[in-house]
Structure 1
Amino acid sequence: MQKLKLYQALAEAFVAEGVDTQFILMGDGNMHWTSALQKLPGIKTVHHRHEHCAVAAAMGYHVATGKIAAASVTCGPGLTQLTTALPAAVRARIPLVVFAGESPINAKFYNQEIAQLPLVTATGAHYIQAHSLPRMHEYVREAFHVARLERRPVVLGVPYDLQTLAPATTSPYVPSTRYIPNGGRPRPDPELVAALVAKIREAKNPIVIAGRGVLHSGAKSAVEAVADRCGAALATTLPARGLFDHHPYSLGISGGYATKLCREVMAEADLILAFGARMSYYTVDGGNIFPQAFVAQIDTAPRGLSEGALAANFFITADARVTAEAILTELDATLGAGKPTAATVRTNELAHRIATELPDDHHFEIAPGLLDPRAVIRMLDDVIPKDWDIVSGSGHQSYFNSQMRGRPPEKFCAIREFGAIGNGLSYAIGVAAARAEGRNGKVVLIEGDGSLLMHIQELETLKRHGLRVLICVLNDGAYGAEIHKFRHTGEDDSGAIFGRPPFEAIAQGFGLVGAEVRDLARVPGLFDEFAAQGEAGVWNFQISDQVVAPTMRRNVVRGHGKM
C-alpha cells in the first residue's frame, strides 16, 4: 500500500477547515497538493491562467458565500504575481488562505528561489514558513486561525521537496474552529448608550449609516428600527449598498459615490449614527459630505484615527445589533414609548425626491452612435432580475453601476479598497463558482474596457469551466479616469486613448457569445437570448467618453485626481 504523503495530509487538513473550492494556477511547487485536494470528495477546482486571478477569484468567492476562501500558486514567480491581489484582500478584510510552494529547502540551487516572506509581509498579509515536518498541522491551523480571527489573507509557504515526504504524525487534524474564542456579542456600556440617546432625542437631521458590520451582525432590522424610531434618513457604505433600498427614506451610498440628493441631505445632517462602518476616507468623502454632523460610531473595533482623520466624535465598542436594541430600549425609557424625537428630516417631499430623482442629471453632449453610461446602467437595472449577482469592476465607470437599486448587498460584489483596476473578471469567476450549480450561475460583471483587457485571458477560464457570466463592458475606448483628469488640466489626453476593441469578436474567439450594443432598445431581447442559453457572453456597450462621473468631477476640482 502506498504511504500517505505530506501533500495529501495537508490537503485533508484544508478540507477539515471547511474548504470546498480552490482557485489555482498549478506549478511544480503546488502541483501535488492541488491534485490531492482536487481528488477529495466535494472539492471544486477552478484552474486559472494567471496567479493574481486565482487569488482575486477567491476574494469574489468569499464575498458571495461568506466562507473562508482558498487559493494556490507555485513558488517564486508564482508568488510574486500576488503582490497586487494580496493588499486588496488585506484592505477589504477578506479571510483567505493561499497555499504556496516554496523552493526546495534542501536544494543547493533553484532558479525560482526568492525570499517570499518579506514580499508577502509588505502587502500586509500574514506569511507562515512551514519548514518543520512535525509542526505541519500547527502551520495549517495557524493559517486558518489568523485568517478567520483577523479577517486577512494568509500565505502558507511549504517547500515542495518536503511536501513529498511522509507526514511526521498520523494524529487526526484538529481544525482552527476549535480554537476560536466565543465570547458572545460585545455589549455596549449603558452610560454611553444613555449619552448617545440624549443626542438622538435632540437631533433634527439624523442619518443612520450602515456598513458591513451590520451584515456580519445580522443587525439590519434592528438598525432600521432605530432609524424609524428616531426619524432618521438611512444610508450605507459602498460594500453594504442596497441594504435599505426598500425604504422610502434611503439615500443610498454615503461618500464619494453619493447621489446629488444624498449629498444635499447629508450637508444638513446634525447627527450621524454609523453602525458597523469603518468610516473610511471614501465613506466620509474626505470629510466633505456631512461637515456639520456629530458622528457616533458603533463598531466592535472602532478606530479613533482612520486614514489620517478623526473617524467620529463618539464611540461605542460593541456589536451593532445589541447596541441598536439597547438604543431602542433607552429611547422608550427616557422619551416614552412611541413619542417622537425632534427629528424633521423625513418629509413627503424627501420621499418623493428619493423615488423620482436621477442620481446624476448633469447634461453632456453625446455623439450619434454612442451611449450615455448612466442610461446603460438604468436599462440594465430594469432588465436584469434583482436576484442576479452584480459584480462591479473598478475605475471611472464603477460609479455608474453603484447606483443600481433594489439589489441586496449579498448580491453585489464591489471590492475597491486598494484602487486597482483589472480585477472584475476574476471576482466574477469567484462569484460564478459559488453560484454555478448546474452551470446556471446568474452573474453579471459590469466593467470598463481598459480594466477588462488587463486579464482578458480569463475568458478562457470561463469557457473551460462552463461558468456563465454576462460581461457588460462600458467601452469608452480609453482609460476613463485619466482622460478626464487630462482634460480638466488642459493637457493632451491622447496617451490615455487606445481605441474601441471589438469585445464581441474577442468573446467569440474564446468560444463565448458576444454582441456590440449602440441601441439600448436591443437590450431586453439580448437578455432573453442570453438567459435561454448556457454560455458566458460579452456585451460591448459603446459609451461616450464625454460623460464624467460626479465623483470625478468633484475630485479633479479638489485636485485629488483619485477615484
Structure 2
Amino acid sequence: MKVYEAVANAFVKEGAKTVFGLLGDGNLSWVAAMSRHPAVRLIDARDEGAALLMAEGWARATGEVGVCNVTQGPGLTRMTTSLVTATRSRSPVVVYTSKTHFNDEHVNQAINQERLVSATGAGYVEVLTPAYAEDAVRQAFYRARMESRPVVLCYPLDIQDWDCDGDDDYQTSATLFTGQQRIRPAQDRLEEAAKIVAASRKPVVLLGRGAVRSGAVDSAGRLAKRIGALIATTLVAKGTLAGAEYHAGIAGLFSTRTVMQLFDEADCVIAIGASLNQHTLAGGLLFPKARIVHIDATRTMLMGNDRLAHCYVQGDAAITTQALEELLAQQGVSGEGFRTPAVRRALLNSDRDPAEYEIEPGTVDPRE
C-alpha cells in the first residue's frame, strides 16, 4: 500500500465524508484515493482560501472537524488569509497538502511552509517517514479538535509514493478523548453568580457558540424566563432561541439601535459559552451599567475590554447554567425584568430595516 492510500483510508476512518479542495500536483494522488471511497463526497472550489472557508463552515454547521486539501507552495500561500480567519474563529479543520521534492529548493513552489503556517496561528504537522503516515492523521485530527484551530498536514511528494504497512486496526483520534469529564463549577463561584443575578432588575442572557455545543440552550432559556432576561447571542451563535418571545438578536456591532438602548439599561449580563470579545462588547461600549457573570469551560478568560468579568465561573456551560437556575429556584428568585409589554412591542420590529428594495426572483435579501 502506498502512503497516500493509507492516509486516505485514515481520513475516512476519522469521519472525513465531505472534503473541499482545489486539485494540484501535490494532492492529486490523495484525492484520487479518496474518490475511491463511495461514502466520500469531494467538492471542488475555485480558490484555495474558499476551500478552507467552506470546510470551516462545514465544521461550524456539523460540529465535526472540517477537511480540505490544496497543493503545496502557492496553493498554500493563497489560503493564508483564510487560515488566519479560521484560527481566530477557533474552528477545527484539517488541511491536507504536500511539499516539493527533497533538496529541490530551486523549484518555484519551494517555500518554508512551516513558518508560513505558523505565522497564521494554525498548527503544522509534516510527515518525513512512511511509518508516521497514519499516526500523523490521528495527531492532526486530535489537535484540530483539542486546540480548536486549523492544522495543516503535510506529506512531501517524495513520501507519498513510498510503500507503507496500512493499519487495519487504525485507532481514530476519538479514542484519545475517552474519559473526558464535563467540568462542574465550584460552589462558591456559583453562589457568587447567583448573588449578582438575584440582585439584578434588568438582566440579559447572552449565548455563545460554547452554549450551543455543550447543550446549554434549554437551561439558558429556563434561566432567562425565571429572571425576566432578554436573550441575545454572539454572531456565531446567531439564531439560537430565535423563537423566544424576548429574543433581542445579536449582541455587539450588529445590534439594532433599539436593542442597544435596551442593553444600556441592563444591570447584569450572564454570558454562557461566549468569549465576550471586542465585537460582542462593541469595543467595550455595550452594557455600560451591567455586572458580568461569565460562564465558560476555560480556566480563565479576559473579555474584549481586557478586563475580567465581575464573576467568572469555570464550568461546562450546560451543567453550570442548569446548576445556576436550580440554585436561583431554591432561593425563590424570579422577576419580571425586561419582560414587559413595552419591551415586547419595542422588540417586535426592531430588526426590520424600514427601507424597501426590489428583490429579484431567485435571490436572497441579505437583511433577512
Normalised to the residue count of structure 1, the TM-score between the two structures is: 0.62
Instruction: Give the distance between the partners of 1:193 and 1:263, measured in 2 at CA.
Output: 28
Report matched runs for 1:524-535 at 5 Å. Answer: 526-527=361-362
The corresponding residue for 1:30 is: 27
Work out the number of aligned pairs and report it.
367
Q: 1:356 to 1:33 in 2, by over 3 A?
A: closer
Residues 1:540 and 1:243: Cα distance change in structure 2 (over 3 Å)? closer
Distance in 1, Cα, partners of 2:264 & 2:29: 58
Secondary structure at the residue paired with 1:49? coil
Q: Please report how far the alpha carbon of residue 357 of structure 1 lies from its aligned counterpart in structure 2 after TM superposition.
A: 3.9
Question: 2 CA distance for matches of 1:262 and 1:31?
Answer: 51
Structure 2 CA distance for partners of 1:229 and 1:103, relative to 1, 3 Å: same
Task: Tell me how far 1:222 sits from its aligned partner.
Answer: 0.3
Give the CA deviation at 1:108.
6.8
- Check the 8 A contact 1:302/1:315 in 2, yes or no: no
* Distance 1:80-1:310 versus aligned 2 partners, 3 A rule: same
Amino acid at match of 1:76: G
Amino acid at match of 1:137: E
Report Cα offsets for 1:513-562 as digits up to 9, x if no partner.
xxxxxx34xx5xx24xxxxxxxxxxx498x9xxxxx9xxxxxxxxxxxxx
1:310 aligns to what SS in structure 2? coil
Matched, 1:180 2:205: no
Task: Find the counterpart in structure 2 of residue 68 from structure 1.
Answer: 65
Aligned counterpart, 2:191: 194
Aligned residue for 1:334?
331
> Is residue 104–residue 110 contact of structure 1 (8 Å, CA) maintained in 2?
no
Q: Is 1:133 equivalent to 2:130 in the alignment?
A: yes
Q: In the alignment, is the contact (CA less than 8 A) between 1:260 and 1:360 conserved in 2? A: no
State which of 319, 325, 337 in structure 2 corresponds to 1:344: 337
Specify the alignment match of 1:452 in structure 2: none
C-alpha separation in 2, matches of 1:169 and 1:313: 54
CA distance in 1, matches of 2:364, 2:301: 45
Report the Cα distance in structure 2 between the residues aligned to 1:274 and 1:355, rounded to whole angstroms. Answer: 23
How far did 1:221 drift?
A: 0.9
**Residue type at the aligned position of 2:120:** T
Shift of 1:280: 0.7
Percent identical residues: 33
Counterpart residue number, 2:94: 97
One-letter code aligned to 2:156: P
Letter of the 1:96 counterpart: V
Choose from 194, 201, 204 the match for 2:201. 204
Which residue is 2:141 aligned to?
144
Question: Are 1:256 and 2:253 matched, yes or no?
Answer: yes
Q: Distance in 2 between matches of 1:135 and 1:358?
A: 53
Matched AA of 1:222: S
2:264 is aligned with 1:267 = yes
Relative to structure 1, the CA distance from residue 174 to residue 222 in structure 2 (aligned partners, 3 Å threshold; closer, same or farther) is same
1:237 maps to a residue whose letter is T
SS at match of 2:69: strand
Query: 1:354 is matched with which residue?
Result: 347
Structure 2 CA distance for partners of 1:107 and 1:167, relative to 1, 3 Å: farther
Partner of residue 48, structure 1: 45
Q: Answer whether contact 2:284 2:305 (CA < 8 A) is retained.
A: no
Report the residue type matching 2:26 in the other structure: G
User: Secondary structure of 2:98's partner?
Assistant: strand
Aligned CA distance change for structure 1 residues 169 and 221 (closer, same or farther; 3 Å): closer
Contact kept? 1:270, 1:292, Cα under 8 Å: yes
Partner of 2:301: 304
2:272 partner amino acid: F
CA distance in 1, matches of 2:285, 2:16: 43
Amino acid at match of 2:33: A
Q: Distance in 2 between matches of 1:255 and 1:66?
A: 24
Q: Are 1:224 and 2:221 counterparts? A: yes
Whole-angstrom distance in 1 between the partners of 2:301 and 2:104: 49
> After superposition, what is the alpha-carbon deviation per residue over 1:139-168, rounded to whole angstroms, capped at 9, x for unaligned?
111101001111110001111121011015
Cα drift, residue 183 of structure 1:
2.3
Contact kept in structure 1, 2:283 and 2:305, CA below 8 Å? no
Q: CA deviation at 1:306?
A: 3.7
State the superposition RMSD in angstroms. 2.1
**2 CA distance for matches of 1:121 and 1:8?**
27
Asked if the contact 1:260/1:359 (under 8 Å) is kept, the reply is: no
Corresponding residue for residue 74 of structure 2: 77
Match of 1:458? none
Shift of 1:327: 1.1
* Rounded Cα–Cα distance in structure 2 between residues aligned with 1:204 and 1:37: 57
Select between 24-33 and 45-54 the one with higher mean Cα deviation: 45-54
Query: Which residues of structure 1 form unaligned runs of 5+?
Result: 362-371, 377-518, 528-538, 544-548, 550-563
- Distance in structure 2 (CA, Å) of the matches to 1:540 and 1:329: 43
